[in-house]
Amino acid sequence: MAVYAKRNKLINFSRIMRSIWMNPGISRIEIARKLALDKSTVTNLASELIEIGVVQVGGARDSGPQGGRKPIQLTIKGDFAAVIGIEIQTDYYQAVAANLSGEILYSEAHKSDVSRELLPKRFAEVYERVMAEVAKSGVPVLGVGLGISGIVNPHKGVIIKSIPMGITEPYSFARDIAAKLKVPAYVENDANACALGELAFHKSERLRNFLFALVEFRKGDFSKSEYGGIGIGLGIVLDGRVHYGSEFYGGEFRSVFWNGPSKGQLSLPLDRIRRISTDADVQMEFSRELARNLAVFVNTLNLNQVFIGGDLQSYRIPFDEMLAEEIRRNWVYDPDDIHCTVSYSSVGEKAVAYGAAGMLLERLFTSRPILSGEDRTITGITNLLDRLEPIGKRSPVEGN
């Protein structure tokens, strides 16, 4: 009975925290109504979260038409804690530390040679360096997320395959890296990490069906010689959840116009693709072909949002307008029926690292399994509360 009661409390904690996180300024009575919970249950659990310091009380809103006590607004305290996101490619890495509101506290990017054998060492170096920088601000770190190119099983913490990294057999991030850390850690496909980051930081109930198109121009010799130096990945979100497919291949992309023999993802010959950074005509051809492919996804799946991240926006091509045009052209019915917004990621080349940080928050606030330092699976909310409670008790948060 005691175990059941504790589990039930943790579930309600998770639901209440997510409601506050997704709806900043929501009141206790609105939470109770939204979650079909008893008002006293919400009041008691919200009070505990306020005492811990992760939830803060805002001003009172106007009462309803029937009068009565004005509802008090609740919000997640953004600067209470931080999360770290890291992107590792074969020739560089990006790292970002963000607070619970998505504000970037620290970021860095450097060239770095990385292979499967060097992945644990490089990850540890970047992780320790960013942790040290965040520690200077006194903000505790809840965990770290890694975004990486390839096919990833995030639930087991396994990189199944990664062409750039030379991973041809399943590689256990959970065993070789996450198990050695003092904070929870996740690994995710880079495009999926970006999509999860949008879910985490946009916090909109309407953001349910969307596509994140990640386009990166890579400088590594292998990537250039075999793929023209371009990597394209899609993060597909349906009904608020990333679509992984039956074997985690969801989001792997190759143009419908591709006809070989190159290993690239588009129909353009590799010698032309390699000139994309300097040739405006190649940039236009590339963008048009990609836009036509994405338009099919948008209309077939009836998506209402497309985010574009990575390096594409660094070129002077209005890809967002081009994609919107192709979506309308591809639609069979009245173009006015289409309600899909196309926008660039606000963090540009930091999209994967920022998304990996947001991915961790999305996991924590949705109570999904998370990899702990002891390589066991526990719920995100249990881990969050276990870490936050002592932090809240030993340091006053209201004065920060």
Domains of the chain and any CATH numbers: 2-76 (1.10.10.10), 79-194+353-377+389-394 (3.30.420.40), 203-351 (3.30.420.40)
User: Measured between alpha carbons, how far is 114 from 123 in angstroms, rounded to an integer?
Assistant: 9
* Mean pLDDT computed over every residue of the chain: 84
Three-class DSSP category at 73: strand
Q: What is the mean pLDDT of residues 339-360?
A: 90
Contact 383, 372 (CB under 8 A): yes
User: Measured between alpha carbons, how far is 382 from 78 in angstroms, rounded to an integer?
Assistant: 19
Nearest residue to 90 via CA among 238, 218, 240, 246: 218
State the pLDDT at residue 224.
66
| Confidence at 399, pLDDT banded by 50, 70, 90 | very low
Element (H, E) at 320: helix 319-330
State the pLDDT at residue 104.
93
Residue 369 predicted with pLDDT over 70: no
Instruction: For the chain, count helices (H), then strands (E).
Output: 12, 17
Retrieve residue 232's tokens.
């394209």
Is the backbone of residue 157 left (phi > 0), alpha (psi -120 to 50) or beta?
left
State the pLDDT at residue 372.
37
State the pLDDT at residue 65.
52
Half-sphere exposure of 98 (CA within 13 A, CB side): 27
State the pLDDT at residue 85.
97
Segment among 172-186, 221-235, 296-310, 336-350 with least mean pLDDT? 221-235
State the pLDDT at residue 156.
94
Tens-digit pLDDT profile for residues 33-50 = 999 999 999 999 999 889
In the chain, what's the furthest Cα-to-Cα distance? 72
Torsional sign, CA 390, 392, 393, 394: positive
State the pLDDT at residue 184.
87
Contact 153, 249 (CB under 8 A): no
pTM of the complete model: 0.85
